[in-house]
Amino acid sequence: MKRIGMLTSGGDCQALNPAMRGVAKTLFNGKEPVEIYGFLDGYQGLIYGRFRLLTYGDFTGILTKGGTFLGSSRTPFKTIQIPGPDGVDKVAAMKQTYYKLQLDCLVILGGNGTHKTANLLRQEGLNVVTLPKTIDNDLWGTDMTFGFQSAVDVATDAIDRIHTTAASHGRVFIVEVMGHKVGWLTLNAGMAGGADIILIPEIPYDINKIAKKIRERHDSGGRFTILAVAEGAISKEDAALSKKEYKKKLEKRRVPSVSYEIAEALREKSGFDVRVTVPGHTQRGGAPCPYDRVFASRLGSEAGELILKGEYGFMVGYKNREIVKVPLEDVAGKLKAVDPDASIVKEAKLLGISFGD
């Protein structure tokens, strides 16, 4: 009998349920009997022993459902080894729950912070297998994360819809796309949606060059301009500040986000009517797209096979169009950012897209 624990941690996304389904169906179809314990609300369930024994029926009918039926929560890695207000030693509590249930392995689905904690548990002697979940596509060791393509589809749809109203009124529109640290989502949705300007954290922008691009479009007969702006987009001036200085500046920001800051500056510099649209958490919600249903199912199936073989300490990733296993210690704490010199950036510039640099 194999006993497996499963949890989803961090922000939700559209393909968590299909990924868990892939793991479970592979395990249930194996030759050895299996029990799967689902921990509720991420690492919090593992810490406080909140779980339930899952049946085959729990994984039926969830392929098309977004979110996570186990629930999720954020348990920051930077405080994982610091007792909370209740005095609980989180790491010791997680280990206690693991051994109390006599688990053979923990299946953990999550992003960067989740993988740091997963690797810590591996170092503490627990058997762990992880799956790469994030709409940001910023996990090191995998070319793709599940949830990313679904989010690209939602963000692209938002940009598509803005096109018609921007064209009708001859306005400049900023669509703010999720992504605090990396610009994969904004870059892909911006290109797919036909944005004229794409601003991402990895390429600091010059507001004067953005204003110049808008004027050039107007002078050549363009009635409108679309900007796809990542949440973490940053100006060249701000990029030159230290982290401490930039943090202080953000604390004094009068507007909700960088998009509104950019809009305000562009109104002054270009004289055009500039509007901001923020799709927000809709990018993480709704049903997973067909690509993610297949992709998450494949990753889940491979994770299940690793468990059946007794191979632990890996993230199941995707490299060069093949599913691969990546040592957890190679993944934890690393971020996969957009290289400003990457071919996709070069190609976008050849299309006439400005990055404000």
Active site residues: 136
Strands 314-319 and 322-327: antiparallel
Task: Provide the sign of the torsion angle of the four alpha carbons 34, 303, 292, 121, taken in this order.
Answer: positive
Q: Which are the contacts of 221, defined by CB distance < 8 A and separation ≥ 6?
A: none
Find out whether 239 and 356 touch, Cβ atoms under 8 Å: no
User: DSSP character for 82?
Assistant: S
The two tokens of residue 37 are 């314990």
Q: At what angle do helices 184-192 and 148-169 cross, to 10 degrees?
A: 50
Cβ neighbours of residue 309 under 8 Å, at least 6 residues apart? Answer: none
Measure the CA–CA gap between 219 and 217, rounded to whole angstroms. 6
Residue closest to 7 by CA, chosen among 143, 117, 150? 117
**Which of 199, 354, 180, 200 is closest to 250 using CA atoms?**
180
From start to end of the chain, where are the E strands? 2-8, 34-39, 51-54, 105-110, 128-132, 172-177, 197-199, 225-230, 274-277, 314-319, 322-327
d(CA 142, CA 94): 27
165 Cβ neighbours under 8 A, 6+ residues apart = 171, 173
Nearest one of 160, 252, 245, 239 to 204, comparing CA atoms: 239
Q: What angle do CA 329, 334, 340 make, to 5 degrees?
A: 150
What residue type is assigned to position 257 of the chain? S
